[in-house]
Amino acid sequence: MVTTLLLVLAASAQQPNLVLRGTVKGDQNNTYIEVPFDVPANTERVTVSFHYTGKEERTTLDIGVQDPQRFRGWSGGNKSSFTISATDATPSYLPGVLLPGTWKLWIGVPNIRPQSVASYEANVSFEPAGKGAPEGFADAPLRSGAGWYRGDLHMHTAHSDGSCKSQNGNKVPCPVFVTLQAAAARGLDFVAVTDHNTVSHFDALRELQPYFDRLLLIPGREITTFEGHANLYGTTRFVDFRVGSAPVPDMKTLLQRIDASGALFSINHPGAPTGEACMGCGWHPKATEMRLVSAIEAVNGGTEEGPYSGVPFWEQQLNAGYRPTAIGGSDNHNPELPPDKPGSVGSPTTVVYAPELSVPGILAAIRSGRVFVDLTASKDRLLDFTAQAGTAKATMGGSLQAGPGDTVGLSARVVECAGAQLRILVDGRPQASIPSVAITSADQTLTAEWHSDGQRHWLRADVVSQSGKLELLGNPVYVSFGSGARE
């Protein structure tokens, strides 16, 4: 056997860092080959993709791997690639700390004919610590093309305090699969399982993503602190959540570290009570660097109205000049809840306009703000809101400039909302000049005008029932806010 080790200067994230090449001959039938390679320090993930020739002659090569101290997995011939990190790994492989030093790719040779020669190539990629790109468990987008995608961004399983009934009807910690099955049955496009502070559920999600190939699984967790709760999306690495401890002295420190990681930070149920009824649930840090907060859970379960609603807190941030996206989450702890119950899986639903169904695509959509929350958890309702001043046009989450006396044209498209009403709010308040309008058809575009005073304002469209109950919560268009998160 001849083995070569090539160092490849990666020009993109898709290219490997190392390429291991070699040949296997007939006299190596029923043997095992070890191919060493070095893993650099501060590596968070190792990914290997393995290919070989000779299959038409019934050559079969199996693979596994060991690190400098222990066996890390064997997939035989059932997988051509695998990935390993501290938190998750491809089934057949063990997650855990990635020790730097010499690893060995194991190649088993269960069959090669006496006169055959096969060539193999193993592409090895290292993801360094601190990489800022969003992570996921799917190798490619589950769906291509821009469109509206529906999901649930707050759910709990056996990896924290989620429960369901066992075969005998006993209350037990609920397996991740049961929660995902409920989401698939609801027809959702994406979910984030957000168990409290832990990263243990990521290994289960990596195993289940290939099975749920129409349901995007977004890495998430609920950061639970004594000063408030928040969801963290798009990274699998551990984040020290102990705000008030020596390693994490305050919330500002936590936010800065999360921002540096590239993950998305969303404040959860900010209007919830804090105390023995719900320890640390309401949001009350001594200082919050709000420019680093990408989203706020304006609707948690069925709390869109009343004293525990997150909408007033979200609107306070908008009035202060910040631009966090309003999202919703069921905060589901029992996937067996009937679909018509608030807090069941997918209730409420966060609906985003994304370029594709992928983790980077969904998170970019949330950051952009072209998002609405469907409190009715429908499969087909739609709300899209646009404002135009002169030739400048902005959709939800976007911004435009308008001077004193400028007329701003407003347009809202609503689908499957007949019988409800469209209301438009300016800085969170209704305007006598823009009265609510009845929605009378299945697909309707409603228009209005608003006259700018040249000051900073935010305008949003909602769909409400005839009695005024909120059904679809829209995100704003920002007028004269400037280009950043805050002027």
Domain ranges of the chain: 3-128, 130-379, 381-487
Q: How far from 157 is each of 163, 250, 327, CA to CA, in Å? A: 7, 28, 21
Tokens of 86: 């501290």
**Distance, CA of 52 to CA of 374 (rounded, Å):** 49
As a dihedral over the C-alpha atoms of residue 139, residue 144, residue 149, residue 155, rounded to 10 degrees, the angle is: -10
**Distance, CA of 323 to CA of 37 (rounded, Å):** 47
**Hey, is 291 helix, strand or coil?**
helix
Same fold, 3-128 and 130-379: no
3-state secondary structure 66-119: ECCCCEEEEEECCCCEEEEECCCECCCECCCCCCCEEEEEEEEEEECCCCCEEE
Task: Tell me the pairing of strands 81-85 and 43-52.
Answer: antiparallel
Q: Report, in this order, helix, strand and coil percent for the chain, each rounded to 5.
A: 10, 45, 45
Q: Model-level pTM? A: 0.92
Q: How far from 293 is each of 40, 223, 349, CA to CA, in Å? A: 33, 13, 21
**Number of other residues whose CB lies within 10 A of the CB of residue 181:** 17
pLDDT at 278: 86
Q: Could you tell me which of 383, 398, 385, 390 has the C-alpha nearest to residue 452? A: 390
Let me know: does 230 contact 251? Beta carbons within 8 Å. Answer: no
pLDDT at 275: 86
Second-level CATH architecture of 381-487: Sandwich (2.60)
pLDDT at 3: 40
What is the pLDDT tens value at each position of the chain, 487 positions in all? 444 333 332 333 468 999 999 999 999 999 999 999 999 999 999 999 999 999 999 999 999 999 999 999 999 999 999 999 999 999 999 999 999 999 999 999 999 999 999 999 999 999 998 776 678 999 999 999 999 999 999 999 999 999 999 999 999 999 999 999 999 999 999 999 999 999 999 999 999 999 999 999 999 999 999 999 999 999 999 999 999 999 999 999 999 999 998 999 999 999 999 888 888 999 999 889 999 999 999 999 988 888 899 999 999 999 999 999 999 999 999 999 999 999 999 999 999 999 999 999 999 999 999 999 999 999 999 999 999 999 999 999 999 999 999 999 999 999 999 999 999 999 999 999 999 999 999 999 999 999 999 999 999 999 999 999 999 999 999 999 975 544 4
Under CATH, to which class is 3-128 assigned? Answer: mainly beta
pLDDT at 277: 82
Tokens of 10: 């990666």
Q: Could you tell me which of 484, 419, 367, 374 has the C-alpha nearest to residue 384? A: 374
Let me know: does 349 contact 151? Beta carbons within 8 Å. Answer: yes
Let me know: does 68 contact 51? Beta carbons within 8 Å. Answer: no
Classify domain 130-379 at the CATH topology level. TIM Barrel (3.20.20)
Q: Could you tell me which of 426, 368, 424, 373 has the C-alpha nearest to residue 398? A: 368
